[in-house]
Amino acid sequence: MTSDDVLFDLKLEYLPKMPKNKDVGIGCIGAGFIMSDVHLVAYRDAGFNPVAIATRNQERAQEIADRHSLPKIYNDYRELLDDTSIEVVDIAVPPDIQLSVIREVVKRKDHIRGVLAQKPIARDYAEAKEIVQLCEEAGITLGVNQNMRFDHSMRACKFIIDKGYLGQPVLATIDMRAIPHWMPWQERQGFVSLRMMSIHHLDIFRYLFGDPDRIFASFRPDPRTKFEHEDGICLYILEYDTGLRASAWDDVWTGPIREGSEGEIYLNWRVHGDAGLAKGTIGWPKFPCPTPSTLDFTTKLRPGYWFQPRWPEVWFPDAFQGTMAQLLIALEEGREPEISGADNLKTMALIDAGYLSAKEHRAVSPLEILNKG
C-alpha cells in the first residue's frame, strides 16, 4: 500500500453516534458508584431520559434521585420493572445477580424493549448464554456495557486501523499498572482481575482485530487483595492465525505503593502494523481527575510525522454515553446493538478460555468454550 492508495483523513471518528429519539424512558437498577457517578452523569450530559431508580436503600435512592433529577424511586427492582413508562432497563448489579434480574425483565416484554447489562454480563459463559437466550426469546434487545469500546483513544485507533494507516497489524500490547477499587461483593465471586478488569482489554482486542484463535494465560494472586482469589495479576497472549499477537500485562498490584514505596500508576497501549504504529494512554487511572485518553500515531503513508490528535472527553463518564446510545439506536433501527449480547458471548468465552489456560498451562481456543456451551 502506498500513500496514493489512501485518502488520508484526520477527522477521526472518536465520538459515538447519538439516537434521534432521546426521550425513551430508562429505568436504572442498582445504586452503586458506577450508576450514581458514571451512568447517570453520562446520560444527563447526553440528554437521555432516565426516569427511575431501584435500590433497597431508600435513603440512598432518594439521594441519587435528587442529584440526577429522577422523578421516581423504587425499593424493589420488580416494582420498577412494572412501570410501563420504562422501555429500557439499565442493569448495574453484580454479575451473580444479573441472571435473576433478567428472568424478571423478560416477564415484562410487553413494555420493556431493551436492556443494557453491565459487564461482566454474568459469572461465566454458561450464565451469559442463558441471559442472551432469555432476551432473544422475549424479543428484547440486549446490549452490554463494554464501555472501553467507547473510550475515545480506542475509537480513534479503530478508525485509523480501518483506514489502513497502520497496514496489517503485527503486534498489539496493553500495559496496565493500576489499583482498581474492588467492591465488597467481589469476595463472594471467586474471581478478581480477569473477569472484572482484563475483560476490558480482551474485548478491546476483539473490537480492534476480531476473534483470536487461542489464548495463553498465566495468573498469580495480588498480594494486596486479602480474600481468596487466583486471578490477581494477569498476563496473557492472544494468538491470531494471521500472525498477529496481542498481549496484556494487567498488574493490579503495581508494587507496594500503598504500603510505603514510590510507584507509577498508568494504562498504556500500542499497536504496531507493517505500515505504521500507534500508541496511547488511557486516562481512567487518574479518575476522578478528568484526564482524556490519548493517541499518537505515525505511518509510512505520510512519512516524517507523528500525528497527535487530542480531545476534551474522558472515558469516565463520557464513554458511557456510547454504550446507552448504541442500544437506543438499535431500537430505533430495528437491529442488533453494536455491542450485542450475542457478540459479548465471544468475549465471555474468551475469558473462560483464559481461566482454563491458566489452570491447565496450555493455549486454549475460545471455540472449546463455545462448542461446549
What residues does each domain of the chain span? 25-148+323-336, 152-315+347-367
Q: Which CATH class is domain 25-148+323-336?
A: alpha beta
Residue type for position 358 = A
C-alpha cell at 109: 416484554
Alpha carbon distance 369, 355 (integer Å) = 11
Q: What is the pLDDT of residue 182?
A: 86
Alpha carbon distance 68, 129 (integer Å) = 34
Angle between helices 341-360 and 199-209 (to 10 degrees): 120
The 3-state secondary structure of 34-77 reads: HHHHHHHHHHHHHCCEEEEEECCCHHHHHHHHHHHCCCEEECCH
Closest listed residue to residue 231, CA positions, set 372, 351, 98, 364: 351
Q: If one looks up domain 152-315+347-367 in CATH, what number appears?
A: 3.30.360.10
How many residues are given for the chain? 373
The long-range contacts involving 296-299, CB below 8 angstroms and separated by at least 24 positions, are 297/157, 297/160, 297/165, 297/166, 299/160, 299/165, 299/166, 299/167, 299/275
Alpha carbon distance 33, 65 (integer Å) = 14
Q: What is the pLDDT of residue 184?
A: 87
Please list the rounded mean pLDDT of every run of 10 residues in the chain (373 residues). 58 95 98 95 98 93 95 96 98 97 98 98 97 98 98 98 97 96 87 95 98 98 92 97 98 93 95 98 94 97 94 97 98 98 98 98 98 80
Catalogue the E-assigned strands of 58-147.
72-74, 88-91, 114-118, 141-145
∠ CA 154-183-62, nearest 5°, is 95
Closest listed residue to residue 75, CA positions, set 101, 92, 90, 54: 54
Q: Which residues pair with 50 in a beta bridge?
A: 26
The long-range contacts involving 257-263, CB below 8 angstroms and separated by at least 24 positions, are 257/179, 258/179, 258/224, 259/224, 263/177
Q: What is the pLDDT of residue 10?
A: 76
Q: What single DSSP character describes residue 364?
A: B
Alpha carbon distance 269, 350 (integer Å) = 20
Alpha carbon distance 58, 61 (integer Å) = 5
Q: What is the pLDDT of residue 190?
A: 85
Catalogue the E-assigned strands of the chain.
25-29, 49-54, 72-74, 88-91, 114-118, 141-145, 169-177, 214-220, 233-239, 245-251, 266-273, 276-281, 294-299
Alpha carbon distance 253, 243 (integer Å) = 31
Place of cell 422523578: 71
Three-state DSSP at 161 gives: helix
- Prediction pTM value: 0.95
Three-state DSSP at 113 gives: coil
Q: What are phi and psi of 195, to 5 degrees?
A: -80, -15
Burial of 211 (0-12, 13-18, 19+ CB in 10 A): middle
